[in-house]
Structure 1
Amino acid sequence: MNGAIRNNSTGRVLSFEQKGDFFYKRGNDKLDKNDLIEALCSYRRAMEQEPEDQYSCIAVAEVLSEMERYDDSNRVLLPLLSREDVEPEAIFGLGCNLAALNETDSAKKMLERYLQAEPEGEYIYDAYDLLDAIDDAEYRPGDFGELAPVLKEDMALDAAEEGRKALERENFPAAREALERAIKLDPTLNYARNNLSLLHFCKKDYERALSEADTVLNADPNDTQALCNKAMVYCAMRDGANANAAADALCRTNTERTDELCRISLVLMELGRFADAYKIAERLLKKTPYDEDALHRYAICAYELKRYDKAYNAYDKLCRIDPTDTIAKYYKKLCYNAQKGQLPRGNIRRFAANYQVPFDETVRRINRINELMKLSAAELHSQWQNSNELELLIRWGFTLPDIAIRRALLTAAAAFGDKRSEGLLRDFLLMREQDDELKRNAIAALAAMGAKQPYYLYIMGHLVESRAELRINAANAAYRNALTMCLANMYEHCSEREAKTAVSLWDRYVGAQERLPRISRAQEVALAAAIEYTARTECGGKPSRADICNAYGVSTLRLDNALKKLLPITAQEEK
Structure 2
Amino acid sequence: AVSCYNLKKFKAAFKYWEKIERIHPNNTISGYYKHHVKEIMTGEENFSELAYHFQVPYEEIIRRVKSIHDLLKLSVVDLKNKWEKSDNLESLLSWGLDLNDALIKKAILNVVASFRDKKAEQFLRTFMLRKSEGSELIKEALALLKDMDAEEPYLVYADDSIVEVNIRHGQPYDNSINMFEDIPNMAINRLKESYFNDCEDDIQDIWESCLSHWKMTGTLPRIRKPEGWAAALELYYRVQGELPVNKMELAASWQVSYSTLMKNYNEINRYIAEFWSKFNLS
| TM-score band w.r.t. shorter chain | 0.5 to 0.7
Aligned to 2:117: 418
Confirm whether residue 310 of structure 1 aligns to residue 9 of structure 2: no
Residue 25 of structure 2, aligned match among 310, 323, 327: 323
Q: Distance in 2 between matches of 1:473 and 1:406?
A: 22
3-state SS of paired residue (2:163): strand
Cα deviation, residue 388, structure 1:
1.8
- Structure showing greater relative contact order (alpha-carbon pairs closer than 8 Å, 6 or more residues apart): 2
Q: Provide closer, same or farther for how the CA distance between residues 472 and 330 of structure 1 changes in structure 2, counting only shifts above 3 A.
A: farther
* Aligned ranges 1:363-402 → 2 under 5 Å: 363-402=62-101
CA distance in 2, matches of 1:376, 1:311: 40
Aligned residue for 2:217? none
Residue type of the alignment partner of 1:400: L
Aligned residue for 2:35?
Answer: 333
Q: Quick check: 1:440–1:472 contact (8 Å CA) kept in 2? A: no
Distance 2:123 2:168 in 1: 17
> How far apart are the structure 1 equivalents of 2:139 and 2:172?
7
SS in 2 for 1:353: coil
Structure index of larger Rg:
1
Aligned match for 1:356, one of 27, 38, 55: 55
Q: CA deviation at 1:460?
A: 3.4
| Alignment partners' CA distance in 1, 2:48 and 2:39 | 14
User: 1:173-210 CA deviation, whole Å, 9 max, x = no partner?
Assistant: xxxxxxxxxxxxxxxxxxxxxxxxxxxxxxxxxxxxxx
Quick one: distance in 2 between partners of 1:391 and 1:407? 15
Matched residues, number: 175
C-alpha change, 1:445 and 1:368, in structure 2 (3 Å) is same
Give the 3 Å change call, closer, same or farther, for CA 352–425 of structure 1 in structure 2.
farther
What's the TM-score, normalizing by structure 2? 0.58
Partner SS, residue 43 of structure 2: coil
What's the Cα RMSD here?
Answer: 1.9
Whole-Å separation in 2 of the counterparts to 1:364 and 1:393: 11
* Residue identity (%): 35
Residues 389-421 of structure 1: CA distance to partner in whole angstroms, max 9, x if unpaired?
Answer: 221111101111111111111111111110010
Change (3 A) 1:312 1:473: farther
Rounded Cα–Cα distance in structure 2 between residues aligned with 1:363 and 1:308: 26
Letter in 1 for 2:142: I
State whether residues 447 and 469 of structure 1, in contact with CA within 8 Å, keep that contact through their aligned partners in structure 2.
no
C-alpha change, 1:390 and 1:420, in structure 2 (3 Å) is same
Contact 1:422 1:446 in 2 (8 A): yes
What do residues 425-483 of structure 1 show as CA deviations (whole Å, max 9, x unaligned)? 000000111111111111111111111111000123332110136475438xxxxxxxx
Structure 2 distance, partners of 1:408, 1:309, is: 38
Contact 2:32 2:56 in 1 (8 A): yes
Report deviation, 1:340. 2.0
Distance 1:408 1:314 in 2: 33
